[in-house]
Structure 1
Amino acid sequence: MDITIPLVGLLAVVLLLLLRFKAVGAGVAVVVALFGFYLAGTDAADTVNQLVTAVTGALADIGR
């Protein structure tokens, strides 16, 4: 997946905006980050990567 770094950056910006506008608290942000970290070590990681790849591919095709 060659969009990993930009996608992580985009998600970080979204998280910072959610924290800034107090849509979520710092505790929730930490829990979600830890969930993602531990999810990456499970068998579900391949499915999540395939889903993200499919969605980003579909969004890229819309722009053409």
Structure 2
Amino acid sequence: MPDALLVLEVDGSIESANRAALELLGHSRDEILELPAERVLGEGGAASVIERCGRRAGSSTRRRPS
């Protein structure tokens, strides 16, 4: 089975999900787009993912020494 993939917005909403995620989680595409990521990933799960991604994005925008 392919890897399940969810794409989250910074507000914790689910922007998209691949077929493997839909099958694993047992939701249709329309259903999963209506669910908050916390409901799918568990309490604190979405916040943790968003926080880690935000730190990575912030670190990649820093200027490198010349």
TM-score range, shorter chain: 0.3 to 0.5
For normalisation by structure 2, the TM-score amounts to 0.40
Looking at secondary structure, tell me which structure has more strand per residue: 2
Structure number with the bigger relative contact order (C-alpha 8 A, sep ≥ 6) is 1
Looking at secondary structure, tell me which structure has more helix per residue: 1
For normalisation by structure 1, the TM-score amounts to 0.41
Q: Which has the larger radius of gyration?
A: 2
